[in-house]
Amino acid sequence: MRAAVVHAPMDLRIDELPDPAPDAGEVLIAVEWGGICGSDTSYYKNGASGTAVLRHPLVLGHEIAGRIAVLGAGVTGLEVGQPVTVHPATLVGDGVLPGRLAGRTNLYTPSRYFGSAAFDPHTDGGFSEFRLARADQVRVLPPEVGTRAGALAEPLGVALHAVGRPGKLHGRTVLVNGAGPIGSLVVAAARFCGADTVIASDVSDSALAIARRMGADETVNVASGGTLPEDVEIVFEASGSPRALGSVLRATARGGTLVQVGNLPGSEIQAVLGDLVTREITWIGSYRFVDEITDAIEAMRDGLDVTPLITHTFGLDQAAQALDVALDPSSGSSKVMLQIG
């Protein structure tokens, strides 16, 4: 099978790898679509994503969907030919969490994730013609959700997890700072979950245009002189930029909640944080998801449209070009997709 494999920074190759075969309890998926994520571009550009450093060649990709090709022994409740996506996490060890974290499996460590170099050996992703998954990782797509949209169930799950962190959004005004792929999905998720008014801010007009198509009522380009609204009760920070924190905290209402969705640097940063104290803001993190990928599929079935996010599509053989476009701020890209099969 062919696979998009990163060997070193800026060294992405389409390698020929052995076709996998499922063991008992596994499913072989013929992959049709993959969505490029920030971790994929980071491995490609830097040879690392956060603290995970590339030590060996790695198949990229954790946002995938396709159809079941082969069922391993003992797999029930699934059928060959079904369209599916995959929950890309695998808990390592006994999977037992302390009582205070019961059910929050996204916070369990250690865990493997498709397309991650966090472990050695690495965990290959799904930008390949075939990918094995445990049967319990497989999520069947309903007739209303094709595999192209289904590949985005994973990042939509991230967004749904984030909008669930501060509690009910129904009837509330929310601000989403950062209208990249995750930020725009947070916009859509907030709208789907009943927010009354959704405001999106960014430094890019093209990103804000997508946010509007994803459900934003108002947009603010802070690079063009726009200013963030005041006294917003619930704010989602999706840019991951330390420089944005001061103005985002100032936009958050006294006693309001700021949900940090964008990954902040793992090193020391300079940021203006005084309002966190004087305005008694609750600042909470949001990391991946538990099983909101299932909620994402149901939301898409019920009408949440992720397709405005998709700006570019490339074939598997063009994976390096696709990553270059995803990295290029001048390309106007949001979600870049690979059509794999």
pLDDT at residue number 294: 98
Q: Model confidence at 265, in pLDDT bands (50, 70, 90)?
A: confident
pLDDT at residue number 317: 98
34 and 147 housed in the same domain:
yes
Report pLDDT digits (tens) over 131-169: 999 999 999 999 999 999 999 999 999 999 999 999 999
For residue 60, the enclosing domain spans 2-155+289-339
278 and 302 housed in the same domain:
no
| CATH number (domain holding residue 93) | 3.90.180.10
131 and 188 housed in the same domain:
no
pLDDT at residue number 270: 85
CB 116 within 8 A of CB 123: yes
174 and 148 housed in the same domain:
no
pLDDT at residue number 102: 95
CB 111 within 8 A of CB 90: yes
Report pLDDT digits (tens) over 99-112: 999 999 999 999 99
Report pLDDT digits (tens) over 56-80: 999 999 999 999 999 999 999 999 9
270 and 296 housed in the same domain:
no
138 and 207 housed in the same domain:
no
Nearest to 177 by CA among 100, 95, 234: 234
Nearest to 84 by CA among 21, 24, 15, 154: 154
Last residue of a domain, one of 244, 261, 285: 285
Question: Which residues contact residue 27 at a Cβ distance below 8 angstroms, ignoring those fewer than 6 apart?
Answer: 68, 70, 71, 72, 75, 78, 84, 132, 133, 134, 135, 138
Tokens of 64: 């995938």
Domain-embedded: residue 232: yes
260 and 142 housed in the same domain:
no
**Mean pLDDT, rounded, for 216-234:** 97
**What value does the mean pLDDT of the chain take?**
97
pLDDT at residue number 132: 98
First to last CA, the chain: 11
Give the predicted TM-score (pTM) of the model: 0.97
| CATH number (domain holding residue 268) | 3.40.50.720
Among all chains, which residue has been given the structure tokens 């198949």? 59
Q: What is the spatial distance between Cα 41 and Cα 202, in angstroms, rounded to a whole number?
A: 20
Domain-embedded: residue 161: no
Grouping H, G, I as helix, E, B as strand and the rest as coil, residue 87 is coil
**Number of structural domains found in the chain:** 2
Report pLDDT digits (tens) over 12-33: 999 999 999 999 999 999 999 9
DSSP one-letter string for 184-201: HHHHHHHHHTT-SEEEEE
254 and 325 housed in the same domain:
no
